[in-house]
Structure 1
């Protein structure tokens, strides 16, 4: 396993991150713990979660999802079983989503951020989070208030680093500018959707991260399974729902060409999709939401694949990116 710095921070993280969104609703606790064990044994030290993970949309009660937080609890029991594991991982979680029925149980107010962090620590059975991420932009709460709350959490030793998720470039710049005015380090990473099949962040988010010295953590690196051998698997359950189901409608010809190209490269489509991301200079660590041991093994294989310039050009030809702004849409 190779390790790199997370943005301009001194924190070193593995080139793959373990995503845990499936722990609970899809992957049972025993299997989740085994995947965590395998990930750490393979050198993965970045474990990513969120306070809202764990809910099953089919078990909503009056519009609420009572099992939110279950994923953090699963990770917390894994950490508690062997306390030394806490020192082996860089633990990342997020806050923004509704965690209760109250009007202040959502977004990024100081009240919600502080309470959300303390609740996550309790579920995770730890005294601090290494990376605390704003799960979505809050257009109502001023950045000054957000940074006051985040600074308090850091002063209390509950959080070490901060990141954003699902923020536009100008949101990141606003937040970072406010942090700099207050003499703070600011954000060290952004987490957003990015894959061969979804390259919108190349317009402005990736250039902003590069300019600010922020790491970038792509989620849904295989676009919900679209790039994971979807057609060859003929997995009806996987193909009827989720991001892949909607994407395949307009991309079948591309996916067919992609899977044939992967065959020519001699690698599984999931391996090539992740390997392509690992060749993008702004990418720190793709977040692999492994549901099974096999998914994790395929992800680790991607670390060993070295794509040459011709192969990268072939993949870009199948799924062309937009290019950077403003050249992508202006002269």
Structure 2
């Protein structure tokens, strides 16, 4: 497994991030433990979760599954760089009381304590804001974060789904306070969805944030969806099926799969490997439901893409161009 330094921190993390969003809803506790064991055995040391994972009435269940895995011992917790998130409504009925969601100082305090209990640990390595909060002053957020760092309950703060301007605002506010600021950003980024190249990734690189792309297969349609359906495998459904309906998308995906079939490569592995060639990227988040899916993702880390193949991918999925030149007419 390849490793890199997470932004401007001293943390060494794997270039593949284990996303746990399927633990509970789609993979039971025993299966989730097996995937985490396999990931750690393969050298994946960066695990990502969120307080809302488990969804619906089972919000928090994913953190509990990770906590029960840590409780098995074997230095599991010490070997993992653990990230979780705060923002979403944690009430079972979806009707929160005031201050029970988003990232006010009060909810940050409550949410950290609840996540620590579910995870069965005394600290969180990367505590991430799942979305921006337009109602809470950024100075209040940093005051809460600094307190948690002083208490040893978190090491660093990160963001998710932040626009470029919010990354800049947050880190400039941190600088004024003498706070450390954001060290990572999770953003939607893949071969199809490349808008992050315009401002989010440049802002992250300017401020020394590691970039952790989510949905690297764009809801599954970069994972060989057409070939699987034609071969009698799992048919496109849900998010993937809807995205295939976008104008010209099916044709682009067919060209993508035909290209990789010619090279004897797996589409999902190429989509992950492509992200690892992009400037500023720490590693993509994968959310395996099975051990086979994890093994495929691990193979992608050592997959080398030729210049010819990269150029062909660029023709099928052209990028936005560098910022600010891309904004010009």
TM-score by length of 1: 0.95
2:245 is matched with which residue? 249
Give the C-alpha shift of residue 210 in structure 1.
1.1
**Contact map agreement 2:161 2:185 (CA 8 A) in 1:** yes
236, 239, 242: which one pairs with 1:239?
236
Where do 5+ consecutive residues of structure 1 fail to align? 56-64
Where do 5+ consecutive residues of structure 2 fail to align? none
**Contact map agreement 1:207 1:324 (CA 8 A) in 2:** no
Cα distance 1:88–1:238, how it changes in 2: closer, same or farther (>3 A)?
farther
Q: Give the CA RMSD over aligned residues.
A: 1.2
Trace 1:312-327 onto structure 2 (pairs within 5 A).
Answer: 312-327=310-325
1:211 is matched with which residue? 206
Partners of 2:201 and 2:99 in 1: CA distance = 32
1:93 is matched with which residue? 84
Give the C-alpha shift of residue 218 in structure 1.
0.4
SS in 1 for 2:162: coil
Aligned length: 321
**Contact map agreement 2:19 2:49 (CA 8 A) in 1:** yes
**Contact map agreement 2:87 2:103 (CA 8 A) in 1:** yes
**Contact map agreement 1:165 1:191 (CA 8 A) in 2:** yes
1:113 is matched with which residue? 108
Q: Deviations over 1:88-134 (max 9, x none)?
A: 10010000001122121111100000100110000000000000000
2:287 is matched with which residue? 289
Trace 1:10-159 onto structure 2 (pairs within 5 A).
Answer: 10-55=10-55, 65-82=56-73, 84-100=75-91, 101-159=96-154
**Contact map agreement 2:228 2:235 (CA 8 A) in 1:** no
Partners of 1:327 and 1:230 in 2: CA distance = 34
2:189 is matched with which residue? 194
Pick which of 80-89 and 129-138 moved more. Answer: 80-89
Give the C-alpha shift of residue 264 in structure 1.
1.8
1:58 is matched with which residue? none
TM-score by length of 2: 0.95
Pick which of 259-268 and 88-97 moved more. Answer: 259-268
Partners of 1:296 and 1:89 in 2: CA distance = 17
**Contact map agreement 1:204 1:324 (CA 8 A) in 2:** no
